[in-house]
Chains A and B, each alone.
Chain A
Amino acid sequence: MSDYRSVTVTKGKGGWGGPLTITPTAERPLIYSVTGGGIHPVAARIAELTGGEPFDGFKSSAPFDKIAVAVIDCGGTARIGVYPMKKVLTIDVHATSPAGPLAGFITDKLFVSGVKPEDVTEA
């Protein structure tokens, strides 16, 4: 089977939460990008370093239990809480803090923000 590797994702400037360790598995291989303009560079870097499979959430849909990590470009209200609510590790490329109607689901074990490609390092 394919051997996946781990990365550590730390919060960027003005960001919140984390650090998160991302390790795709055969059961959860997807690096799920729910961002404007296709696969975000942060998602692309995680996929490249871990061997996970980049996936554009706006092109097709995937079950939550296949997602290793969700990368979002959320402005602080909606997507920020959706994936943590489903216990999916979540990276916001914008420097947001827990807020919005779903804020109660967002913890530093599940969520990190303000992340740029250089904040993704091999674990």
Chain B
Amino acid sequence: MTSSRSAASLPSGSGAAGDQLRYATEVVAVGDLVPQFLEQGVLVLFGEQAPEELHEFSVLHRPGSALSGPEPGDVLVIGTTELPVLAVGDVVAENLLQLGHLDIKADGRDEAAMPGDLCVPQVALPRVAPGDQIRILRGRAARAAREGDRA
């Protein structure tokens, strides 16, 4: 898969890769209530060390690179699905970098309704499975990388 090849072949913090990648992680478990949350346009991520009571509605994951928090204009890559980041709440970076926690909302907003929201367009969010890669790429670099992938 393109996404896993790119994540694996890009060492963090060096050259083009370091400029491009903000965050890369691998899904290790998907809670039973995740499909219900997806129906409401919400996908919740937590690092795998999260307490058990948070597991049933969360995608648990193991970060490989946690370099910086997302910003509007970035690209969120879930498996093979690419979503533009429209808005980022005030506590998103802290949540993501400290706890691996991210609330992805497919609400199409250009201003986050809640401080923990990362907003993407109103689309059906993809289902995820253990082994899937989730990445956040910087805006301009992300576009260049996608063109590179196609070349």
Residues of A that sit less than 8 Å from B by CB: 34, 36-37, 57-58, 61, 64, 73-79, 82-83, 86, 94-96, 99-101
Q: Determine if A86 and B103 form an interchain contact, defined as CB atoms under 8 angstroms apart.
A: no
Q: Determine if B58 and A78 form an interchain contact, defined as CB atoms under 8 angstroms apart.
A: yes
Report the number of A-B residue pairs with Cβ-Cβ less than 8 Å: 72
Chain B interface bracket (under 10, 10 to 19, 20 to 34, 35 or more) = 20 to 34
Given contacts A76-B103, A78-B44, A100-B42, contact A34 B117 (CB under 8 A): no
Q: Determine if A75 and B53 form an interchain contact, defined as CB atoms under 8 angstroms apart.
A: no
Interface residues of B: mostly helix, strand, loop or mixed?
A: mixed
Q: Determine if A77 and B98 form an interchain contact, defined as CB atoms under 8 angstroms apart.
A: no
Interface residues of A: mostly helix, strand, loop or mixed?
A: loop
Given contacts A36-B94, A36-B95, contact A76 B53 (CB under 8 A): no
Most interface-central of A57, A76, A77, A101 (chain B CB within 10 A): A77
| Closest Cβ–Cβ distance, residue A12 to chain B (whole Å) | 14
A77's partner among B44, B50, B52, B99 (CB-CB below 8 A) is: B44
